[in-house]
Amino acid sequence: MLFNGKTPSLNQIRYFVTVAKHLNFRRAANILGISQPTLTSQISALENTLGLILFERSRSGTLLSAQGKSLLEYAEAVLQSTMQFGEMARSLAQGESTTYRLGIPPTLGPYLLPHILPDIHRLRPGLKFYVREAAPKQLLQGLLTGEFDITLSPMSNRDSQIQVQPLFIEPLKFVLPADHPMSGRQFIEPEEIRGQKIMALEDRHHFHYQVQEICTQLGANVDRDYEGTSLDTLRQMVVMGMGMAFMPGLYVHSELHNPEALHVCELADMPVVRQHMLAWRNTSPARATFRELASLMRSVISDRLATAVSVTDISPS
């Protein structure tokens, strides 16, 4: 449809959606990688083309107008369709290598991917990944908006637009200072942890809430006075005798090479685990490729990390 003999460009629609999201022209311009005057000019040109005022501007800030609010969902749909168009074209390009955007949590990626990506690349040289770390909530949101093509995480929030395949179950190990009275034992009774303070990562990490849930089951408490910014920091806090902690089994397998510095054990008769899944959008044109990738990942993980994790058995359908 023509407006004053013109049609809005995709860039103008993208600019509109970005400004509407942030309600700040300077921040939107930085995100888009253009100058603020260019952004302002393009929004004005879009308003002239549409014959509408999309934003209310004042000294106190920027607001989305009523007309802008009415158009926003359609603008977002245009960008989503454009993204799907590009994905389909990429999927149809036979014989060319494809790079997929893979999202993964920081408590998993560095301790899993180095063990499996070389084999995956050897077996499927056309598959390449652009890897970015984010918390599981951001991974889910990024998957829905197209920021990621696939994610690998302990995804607990299910969405009807997302398809998942379980990959493996990772045990969580209980870690103590080397001189702790319970150190030296392979198993710790759950009752011995009741009432204890357990150190964890900061609450910006999903792993914090996993540990918090375990502590609730055990009658223990998360120590909010001592929180690690990373798994490496948390490990050093244990080594220095500041407390006890749960750590992902893959981190222990990959990083803990000095048995004298701390003691690693498990809870008796109480499996403490987290399950990891590969997820993608139902509408992705590469969904058949992702199902094959999930199967390939399970096979490689079984070969490379059988002593550290339990691969999920998926019966053929």
Domains of the chain: 10-91 (1.10.10.10), 96-164+275-311 (3.40.190.10), 169-273 (3.40.190.10)
pLDDT band at 317 (very low <50, low <70, confident <90, very high): very low
How large is the average pLDDT for residues 44-64? 90
pLDDT recorded at residue 98: 80
At residue 288, does pLDDT exceed 50? yes
pLDDT recorded at residue 260: 66
At residue 48, does pLDDT exceed 50? yes
At residue 316, does pLDDT exceed 60? no
At residue 101, does pLDDT exceed 80? yes
Residues 266, 174 contacting (CB under 8 angstroms):
yes
pLDDT band at 174 (very low <50, low <70, confident <90, very high): very high
pLDDT recorded at residue 83: 87
Torsion over CA: 35, 40, 46, 48 (sign): negative
Q: Mean pLDDT, the chain, as a whole number?
A: 89
Q: Is 155 exposed, middle or buried (0-12, 13-18, 19+ CB in 10 A)?
A: buried
Residues 212, 222 contacting (CB under 8 angstroms):
yes
pLDDT recorded at residue 94: 52
With a pLDDT cut of 90, the percent of the chain lying above it is 68
How large is the average pLDDT for residues 276-295? 92
pLDDT band at 249 (very low <50, low <70, confident <90, very high): very high
Q: What is the DSSP string of 198-263?
A: EEEE-TTSHHHHHHHHHHHHHT-EEEEEEEESSHHHHHHHHHTTS-EEEEEHHHHHHH---TTTEE
pLDDT band at 91 (very low <50, low <70, confident <90, very high): low
Parallel/antiparallel/unpaired status of strands 127-133 and 310-311: unpaired
Q: Which of 86-95, 149-158, 162-171, 271-280 has the lowest mean pLDDT?
A: 86-95
CA angle 227, 230, 233 (to 5 degrees): 70
pLDDT recorded at residue 290: 93
Dump pLDDT digits (tens) for 71-85. Answer: 999 999 999 999 888
SS3 label, residue 23: coil
